[in-house]
Structure 1
Amino acid sequence: MKAQELIRLLKTNLSEDTFLYEFNRETNKLRLTHKTLHKGIDISIPPILAKYETKKELAIEEVMYTIQQTFQAMEKEIFGDIDPSSSVYPVIRSTSFPEKSNEGNRFITKEHTAETRIYYALDLGKTYRLLDEKMLESWGIRETEIRERALFQVRNLVNNFKKDEVAGNIFYFFNNNDGYDASRILNESLLKDMKKLIVGDMTISVPHQDVMIIGDIRNETGYDVLAQMTMHFFTVGTVPITSLSFIYENADLEPIFIMAKNRVAKEKEEK
């Protein structure tokens, strides 16, 4: 499938009577603007085409679902009754993720690691909206208050996980499908509880927003398995974050680079 074919398919399912389509050939991005709401989103075409190669029609269904839910959230924000006091969560994104909205408003963020940054989102049911300065100004809420509320919310999430063993190494998969699986990396109490189960090195991976993997790496093969696993999840995730994993020691997250022949190089910052 080519870019123009994908756009024609989207136009068939998402009517031009409702949406304005603008395709930038230089950036390979499609700007989709809702004619009534006068709001829009940018869609990067190459990742969708790549997913189509393996997931076929499911990849198209996923992008259409995301578009529809995003504009429904915008409509709810404009016309609905939103209570930010109980619906704010932290979300993890790559440091390459934009720091401003399409309208030029700065997102509310907090530094996390060299690979990740914390954003804050208003939960709208099936989707969420990243918070920016303009939204907080309209609510009369300070950034510190938002961060505190979000951290409280993530601590209250249910933490179900599945356990798997590969080559003598144990992996715990958090995949609750609530949109905040990667956010659980911010739940210090959860990490400390998991640490008690670990025999070898404790690793934490957030390859995309809908999964967190905690590894109990007990031999060199475990690092090879971890590298392949995180790269796979990073590739197939709807919102990829990072293919790197972290060593969890003394409540600190330290990025690790898994090299050839099972060698592990740790990136340490000078203190």
Structure 2
Amino acid sequence: MDSNKMKRELEARLSREDRMISYDREKDQLRIESKLAGKGITISLGGVVAKWHNEKEKAIDEIVYYVEEGLRAMVEPVQLEDHEKRIFPVIRSSSFPKEAEEGVPFLIDDHTAETKIYYAYDMGKTYRLIDSKIIEMEKWDPSRIREIALFNARSLSTSVKEDQVAGNIFYFLNTNDGYDASRILNKGFLNEMETRIEGTFVLAVPHQDVLIMADVRNDRGYDILAQMAMSFFASGRVPITALSFLYENGQLEPIFILGKNK
């Protein structure tokens, strides 16, 4: 599988009369645009090809699903009033775009040096990031969105899977509801997890669909967490950061772990 074959495969699966598909040869990117919305999604073919070599057809199915749901979200109306339970915070990398393609800024808050908080309107199988145009149309105060989103984040399930490696304990939260990384904003949950920690409490949000928490009890634990975070970061559909965070006194502090062992 190469970029040309991937381009043809995606074009065949995503072509519709109400869409325009274009290819940027220099950047090796395929763009699928909704004629109705006047907006679209750009896919870097190199990344999809790389995932295909590991996951085969699953990689193609995943990107097709992402595009289909993303384009659907672009044309569906957003109504905040009476739909408060659909508003959630989402974690993104500090380098994530600050505005929609048409130049409309998203509602964004600082989180850490590596991450920022965006806000989303849940649409079932996908969500739409809330921007200033939505806020203006709905006539909502941004502080109301923030308050509701964080409240809803605290209502999300927090069941974790536990694994022990080399004397260290790792907890994984991976519900695939689109808000796994958002659980890092639930201070009550983090404080509860902290009571279970005997060593050093370290967290990672390598992509939006996982939150890793580690009870690091020896130096090997840092290496293992760094390897996990990098692996998840490389395979995630919406990568956030491969760095980890110390959690102390209710604060997150990014740390760089230089792995020594494989």
TM-score strictly above 0.5: yes
Partner of 1:106: 105
Deviation of the 1:2 alpha carbon: 2.4
Deviation of the 1:177 alpha carbon: 1.4
Partner of 1:2: 2
Q: Quick one: structure 1 residues 82 and 6, their matched pair in 2 at CA, closer, same or farther if it must change by over 3 Å?
A: farther
The normalised TM-score by structure 2 is 0.95
Deviates more, 1:250-259 or 1:117-126: 250-259
Deviation of the 1:193 alpha carbon: 0.2
Are 1:56 and 2:51 matched, yes or no? no
Contact kept? 1:159, 1:176, Cα under 8 Å: no
Counterparts of 1:198 and 1:116, CA distance in 2? 24
Partner of 1:209: 208
Partner of 2:24: 24
Deviation of the 1:156 alpha carbon: 0.5
Deviation of the 1:16 alpha carbon: 4.4
Contact kept? 2:15, 2:21, Cα under 8 Å: no
Taking the TM superposition and a 5 Å limit, the aligned residue runs for 1:34-53 are 34-53=34-53
Counterparts of 1:260 and 1:75, CA distance in 2? 45
- Describe the SS at the equivalent of 2:76: helix
Taking the TM superposition and a 5 Å limit, the aligned residue runs for 1:1-271 are 1-77=1-77, 83-261=82-260
- Describe the SS at the equivalent of 1:7: helix
- Structure 1: any 5+ residue segments left out of the alignment? 263-271
- Describe the SS at the equivalent of 1:258: coil
Counterparts of 1:81 and 1:93, CA distance in 2? 22
The root-mean-square deviation of aligned C-alpha atoms, in Å, is 1.7
- Describe the SS at the equivalent of 1:77: coil
Counterparts of 2:234 and 2:23, CA distance in 1? 24
Deviation of the 1:18 alpha carbon: 3.1
2:135 alignment partner AA: L
Counterparts of 2:27 and 2:111, CA distance in 1? 29
Question: For residues 126-146 of structure 1, what are the alpha-carbon distances to aligned partners after superposition, in whole Å with 9 as ceiling and x for unaligned?
Answer: 000001000100000111111
2:70 alignment partner AA: T
Counterparts of 1:131 and 1:166, CA distance in 2? 40
The normalised TM-score by structure 1 is 0.92
Deviates more, 1:249-258 or 1:162-171: 249-258
Contact kept? 2:110, 2:117, Cα under 8 Å: yes
2:180 alignment partner AA: D
- Describe the SS at the equivalent of 2:117: strand
Counterparts of 2:166 and 2:28, CA distance in 1? 42
Deviates more, 1:31-40 or 1:56-65: 31-40
Question: For residues 232-270 of structure 1, what are the alpha-carbon distances to aligned partners after superposition, in whole Å with 9 as ceiling and x for unaligned?
Answer: 1111111111111001001111111112548xxxxxxxx
Counterparts of 2:2 and 2:232, CA distance in 1? 24
Deviation of the 1:83 alpha carbon: 4.4
1:216 alignment partner AA: D
Q: Quick one: structure 1 residues 115 and 148, their matched pair in 2 at CA, closer, same or farther if it must change by over 3 Å?
A: same
Deviates more, 1:177-186 or 1:42-51: 42-51
The structure with higher relative contact order (CA 8 Å, sep 6+) is: 2
Instruction: State the number of aligned residues.
Output: 261
1:48 alignment partner AA: V
Deviates more, 1:221-230 or 1:24-33: 24-33
